[in-house]
Structure 1
Amino acid sequence: MVDELAQVLGPPDIDPVPVHWVAVERQLGLALPGDYKTFADRYPALFVNEYLRLNREQCS
């Protein structure tokens, strides 16, 4: 799914900051979906037609 979405969106405008997902999930107390982590690793922030906004905290 992430690859198909990336084909539609194109490359991100900025490079994402690496996230230490084990630490993030430990802090949250839950496992995040793999597709979310893959998408967040590619797109640190995304705005689609000023309608859809996907953002993530800059975690390390």
Structure 2
Amino acid sequence: MSDVLSRLRSAPAKAVDSAEYGADFAREFEAASGVLWKLERAQHFDEGGLPSYLAMLEGDW
């Protein structure tokens, strides 16, 4: 594993709901300039009753 990924595994993190994540991402995206890389790590998603999420759970990609 690369040194960068090793350091990411020990970086502080907190669980947030989808509304908080979306608001934070929107703020950061608007403030960013140049190339934006979005790194996601060990996450659990539950999109509730969202039709596309339910379809994915049923294997309808």
Between structure 1 and structure 2, the one with the greater Rg is 2
Structure with more contact order per residue of length (Cα contacts < 8 Å, sep ≥ 6): 1
TM-score (norm. length: structure 2): 0.22
Higher strand share: 1
Q: Indicate the structure with greater helix content.
A: 2
